[in-house]
Chains A and B, each alone.
Chain A
Amino acid sequence: MIREKHFAFLDENSKREIRRALLKAVAIPGYQVPFASRELPIARGWGTGGVQITLSLVGKGDTIKVIDQGSDESVNAVSLRSLIQETTGVSSTIHTAQATLIQTRHRIPERPLKEGQILVLQVPLPEPLRNVEPSEYKTKKLHGEADYSGVWLKMFEDIMRYGQVATDADHPVCVNGRYVMAPSPIPRFDNPKMNGSPALMLFGAGREKKIYAVPPYTKVVSLAFDDYLFQRERFAGKKCRLTGLTNVYLDELTDEKTGEVYYQTNDSSYLLEYLNREKEGETE
């Protein structure tokens, strides 16, 4: 019985097929490229699309960073990182600036990404039209004909009903003036970070078997009306309890002793770097 582990788990033919799908995705920004998603030792819905992309791209010289909900240390981030490291032996970091390959779920890091970096986002539901059309065959046609009236109508109905567009995370974007794309459920706060980003952004949906991409310096516009503008989550009057930062995405937490609600920077490595810079400043 063969018991050795293959480098980066997947067999080479599978990795090559995924890289081909990635090339096509980069060539057609925002277009969902179907691929024959492989099963992984982690469960569907737990990041298998992102992990397949990462495993297909990772080389021995890479430094990876894995985050889940903005944290490098949440259980799923730890679990995915150890799978990648155990099967490749590459080094990892929590520092956004030092990573060549960043796999993330639900967040784009606060520290602006650089040229040459690759951000891999895990996607549960890649189809931005799914809530207006359940059939895959039909949504594929709608994309082909750039018929996005369903999405616009949904937003218009929200305004009629609630006085504003009621999307939360995963607010749809238009990529390169052509395809409407689900940015994976990142908060609206992170949507603008995709526009003109110097880094390559790759999206993997393992269960739904789709790969798509936003190449560097691509125009990405969050859908909105001229008189109802796109709104990010607002943390008006709130700030990070540890750093006082206001221009970051915040977690809402409760102090167990006092019962008081407080806010804290969600991006844990950004928070850590900030605190350490401050501390160095004090000692100098």
Chain B
Amino acid sequence: MGYVAVKGGAEAIRESNLLEKYQRCRGGRSVCVDDICGNLKKLVDCVMSESSLYSPELAALAIKQAQGDPAEAVFILRAHRSTLPRLYVTTVTDTSGMQVERRISSSFKDIPGGQILGASPDFQHRLLDYDLYEETCGDARAFQEQYEEEILREIGEEKEKQTGEAGRLPRVVDYLRSQNLIPEPVLSDEAPHDITTEPLVFPSTRSIRLQILTRGMTGAVTALGYAKIRGFGISHHPNIGELRVGSLPLRIASDLSGTREEYYIGEVEATEVEIFMMEEQQEENEKSVLGIGLGYGLCFGQNEAKAIAMSVLEYSMEHPNPRDPTSDEEFVLLHIDAVESAGFISHLKLPHYVTFQSKLDRIRNIRKENSHD
């Protein structure tokens, strides 16, 4: 009988996995996926956005599995994404077709179509609500029924009276464009690069930047966007031209019926932001005038801070200023991804004794040689 390898690693992993599960279960409770979907919508939205996978059910499942750690939940969903083939690509969705649930502009007191506050914690006082300790499923259901009966029905009746365009609102930015304060955009029909199937090379393109930003870590995107407008970039703060939350219809084109037709496949909830930045613009006679530049943010679900910060960063990279760290696309794009940054930081936990031995060898050697001098 010869020597055999120690099987310690496999056993340790098994035990660690069991202990991790025990930590989740030791309260003797199990939160169901529907509860997470219903009660933790903002977390579900954040996880879907960062994973770039739109499925509230799977996001809720990942959140349960990750014991509520958003980075871990994103990681699980991204891995799941890798097993799925890309079967279809949706056709272009014009976001002006959004069914708006909430829509505000901080640039004008009143806007065509009106400000719609919608659902938001913005004007809640963030005091701990001790009543939630006692809230039961019965209480939630009672509130739901009352709200649907008294409020939603009324809104529904009102909407029916309106035309088929209900929920579709004119854009704030169109008003400024009509006054020549914002230049008309140059239309681009270039097919977007798909960052999940094509290598990322620099300098990047706008479609690449928007994709990486929209699935960036909420915290990282917010922090870098903040840096840009606080001190490491422009010194004046930008204006939200328009922030919208609502659902966007998605369609795919297919030849199934013999002719090319578009099929509606469902909708996604999204937050969209157009932000106004003061900037110098060149007129045709090469004179520079002050004008308004536009930054754009769009992400899955209701995640307003991220969409706003995204619009700031998008502008910062689209109109680079060499002094601003957030204008360096490599600095921003290579570091805001949840899976990549959390992965590399956490890999420091892996054993590194071979390379550390090499470092020790070098340090000892240099010290020894120098002590001879």
Contacts and interface: CB of A to CB of B under 8 A. Distances in A.
Interface stretch (B37-45, B162-170, B193-201, B294-302): B193-201
Interface residues of A, number: 74
Interface string A155-178: 000000011101111100000000
A106 B369 CA distance: 27
A137 B83 contact: no
A276 B3 contact: yes
A275 interface: yes
A106 B9 contact: no
Nearest to A263: B357
Nearest to B74: A39
B155 interface: no
B347 A46 contact: yes
A12 B76 CA distance: 20
B361 interface: yes
A13 B3 CA distance: 43
Interface string B8-40: 111011000000000000000000000000000
Interface of A: 5-6, 9-14, 17, 21, 33-36, 38-41, 43-46, 48, 68-70, 72-79, 82, 94, 105-107, 124, 134-137, 140, 162-164, 166-170, 185-189, 207, 209, 233-234, 249-252, 266, 268-269, 272, 275-276, 279-280
Shortest beta-carbon contacts, A-B, top 3: A44-B343, A45-B347, A34-B199
Nearest to A134: B330
Interface size class of B (residues with CB under 8 A): 35 or more
B346 interface: yes
Given A39-B78, A40-B79, A187-B354, A269 B85 contact: no
Given A13-B86, A17-B197, A268-B5, 12 more contacts: A39-B81, A40-B79, A43-B339, A45-B346, A46-B343, A75-B12, A106-B352, A135-B328, A163-B370, A249-B354, A275-B2, A279-B2
A38 B82 contact: yes
20 contacts: A11-B82, A17-B197, A21-B199, A36-B200, A44-B347, A45-B343, A73-B10, A76-B351, A136-B202, A140-B201, A163-B366, A163-B373, A168-B358, A168-B362, A169-B355, A169-B358, A186-B354, A209-B199, A266-B357, A279-B2
- The A interface is mostly helix, strand or loop, or mixed, namely loop
A275 B366 CA distance: 35
B362 to A, nearest CB: 5
B111 interface: no
Contacts of A6: 83
B347 A124 contact: yes
B372 to A, nearest CB: 9
Contacts of B198: 36
Q: Which of A41, A45, A207 has the most CB atoms of chain B within a 10 A radius of its CB?
A: A45
Nearest to A106: B354
